[in-house]
Every structure is written in C-alpha cells, then in structure tokens.
Amino acid sequence: MKIERVSLRRIRLPLVAPFRTSLGVEHERPALLVQVTTAEGEGWGECVAGADASYSSEYLEGAEDVLRRHLVPRLLATDSVSAHAVAPLLAAVKGHRMAKAALETAVLDAELRALGISFATGLGALATRVPSGVSVGIMDSVPELLDAVETYLAQGYRRIKLKIEPGWDVVPVRAVRERFGDDLLLQADANAAYSRADAPLLARLDEFGLLLLEQPLDEEDLLGHAALARRLTTPICLDESVVSARSAADAIALGACHVVNVKPGRVGGYLEARRIHDVCAASGIPVWCGGMLETGLGRAGNAALAALPNFTLPGDISASDRYYATDITEPFVLKDGHLEVPDGPGLGVAPLPDVLAAVTTAVSEVR
C-alpha cells in the first residue's frame, strides 16, 4: 500500500470511576489515535502511552512528537509498505515501542480491511470469543474492595486481578479469598512496587492460591524475579520486563517467570506480540493479554490477539462499561463472562463519528 497521509488525533475520555494503582490515580484517559489513509481506504491504531512517564518512559506528548517528526515521515517516504515492513522501516529510531505499535496497527488495520480479512484471522487466531477478567484498583478500605469484587463477579467476569502495593497486599488478598472462596480465579499485580528485600512479605501471598503474582519487582530486575520465583510457590508473571520476543526468551531461560502478560503497545505492536506468544508456547509458558485502559479500537485488537491458542488465561479485556460510559466505538459487552472477537475486516470496529468529534481535543495531519 501507499500511505497518502497520517492523522494524529488526541482524545480525552472520562473514566466511570477513578482507577488507582501503585503508580497513581487516573480519573480520565487521554489517548492518541493514529489514522492512516491509503487509496484503498483507512486504518486505525491507538497509542497506549499514558499522560505521564510513571508506567513507562513513553508518554503521550512524546509519542505524538516522535510520530510526527521521525516515524510517520519514514512511512510516507516509502513507495509501498505492508504491515510486516513497518518495524524494519522504523528500526533506525530507537525505542518508542508504543508509538511504533500505534502506527503499525493502523497500517495492519488498513491492509486487512482492504483484503477483507479480520484481525483475528490475520494473526492466526481461531477462537470466536475470549474469557474476560477485570482489574480492580487499590481502594480506600477492604469493605469497599469486597463490594467492588462482588459487583464484577455478578456481572460475570471470569477472573479478578487485585492491584497491590506495600501496605495494601496481604490483607486485601486474604479478605477477597476468604469472602469469595478458593474457586475464584484470583491474581495480584504489583506494577513493580516491591524490592528484593520484600521477598518474605510476598511469600505470605502463597497461602492464598493465587493464579499468579504479576511484576512484583523493577522491570530491569530479571535476576531478582528469578530468585523470587525459586522462593515462592505462587507463579511469577512478568509484564513490564517483557518488551520483545527476545526479552521473553531471556526471562524464560533465566527462570524469571512462569507466565507472561502480553501488551501489544508495550512490545511494539501485534506482530511482535504474536512472536512473544509463539516463543512462550514453544517453552510451555502460558500467556494472557493485559490492558492499558484502551478504547474500543485497542480492545478490538486485544480481543483478536487473545484468541490465539496459547492465551490460556483470562486477560484484562473487560467490557467497555468497565471504564467508559461511552466508548468511541460500538461498545464491547460482556456475555457469559466472555467478549466476542470482532470478525469484520481489519479491527472489525471503527470510531463513531459523533462520539469521536465530542472527545477530540486536537488533530494534526502529516502528508
């Protein structure tokens, strides 16, 4: 395809409730959408970078800047491009995986739409629906947490993930396990809030039969995770530490994880995410799809990815109303604890023009 122009659209969506993790509290979701236009049509991608650099070194304004000044011009200078050629074309620009992922996703969406092929089919997925888990943020009190978990279970979510941090870990996990029983699929996510010195504390989580403990230590501390994995019976899952198929292979070889959380934006796009899936499958390591408060665009791609066979654990692919009163696409609705995988061409969803116009704060175009 020949890319004729690329539009960068800033949007802002209020969350239905504040979402608190060890990294801070979010009240709204600012997002950057990438739209590519070709002679055959258009494609969309969503950049998952946050408003600040608390989760990652990437942040929204930086992603927009590197797209406009460095990434998009390389794409427009090419006579013809396919989605698989995007990463090699952009390789001279170091890092910026979230920005690259958004651009590659838009190209892949346009390519598959033109061919009449769904995202799921293009990635090699077979499932038509995926089990849905929900991430529960840090609360002001244990009773508030228990009420929230009860609500999500009543809605049909198949797995509960509790955000934890020092001072909010053993007590809330114990409370949820005691209240809802041993059959509940329960896991905890620390977002790298602990250190190696906290190993005795984290070992206390073993008694609760967690599905996994996600990213307890700093993202660069693979050896620390390997030591912790030897000490705990709870399976260690890596999130921020895995940024590519190569880093996944290294972590597995070191014994630093038993499970991997795959976030397409964090690893540079859906094609690299599929490579991570394949590497983990070859090593007998299960994967699941994480979430970054995506709109319906990102949710559609994540659902397609999670339909691949080694995504054997419920992911953080929640219904649209978990975070937004109004999504920018037709909403994803929870049915029997699952979300349907879109089967239309490309992502299978597109922004609703009126909604998109209402939440847009800025638009720029590169030709």
Catalytic residue among 2, 94, 100, 263: 263
Clarify whether 163 is annotated catalytic.
yes
Do strands 360-366 and 338-340 pair parallel, antiparallel, or not at all (unpaired)?
A: unpaired
Q: How confident is the model at residue 191 (pLDDT cuts 50, 70, 90)?
A: very high
Q: How confident is the model at residue 315 (pLDDT cuts 50, 70, 90)?
A: very high
Angle in degrees, 0-180, between the axes of helices 83-90 and 97-115, rounded to the nearest 10: 160
| pLDDT beyond 90 at 23 | no
CA distance 206 to 286: 20
pLDDT (0 to 100) of residue 19: 87
Other CB atoms within 10 Å distance of the CB of residue 151: 12
pLDDT (0 to 100) of residue 146: 98
* pLDDT tens digits along 273-299: 999 999 999 999 999 999 999 999 999
**Angle, vertex CA 31, rays to CA 29 and CA 37, nearest 5:** 155
Report the sign of the C-alpha dihedral through residues 122, 125, 130, 133, in that order: negative
- Structural domains for the chain: 3-115+350-366 (3.30.390.10), 121-340 (3.20.20.120)
Catalytic residue among 2, 94, 100, 163: 163
| pLDDT beyond 90 at 22 | no
Clarify whether 263 is annotated catalytic.
yes
For 265-275, what is the mean pLDDT? 98
* pLDDT tens digits along 32-43: 999 999 999 999
Closest by Cα among 179, 116, 88, 110 to 142:
179
**Angle, vertex CA 323, rays to CA 335 and CA 181, nearest 5:** 60
For 63-67, what is the mean pLDDT? 97
**Angle, vertex CA 196, rays to CA 204 and CA 255, nearest 5:** 85
pLDDT (0 to 100) of residue 97: 98
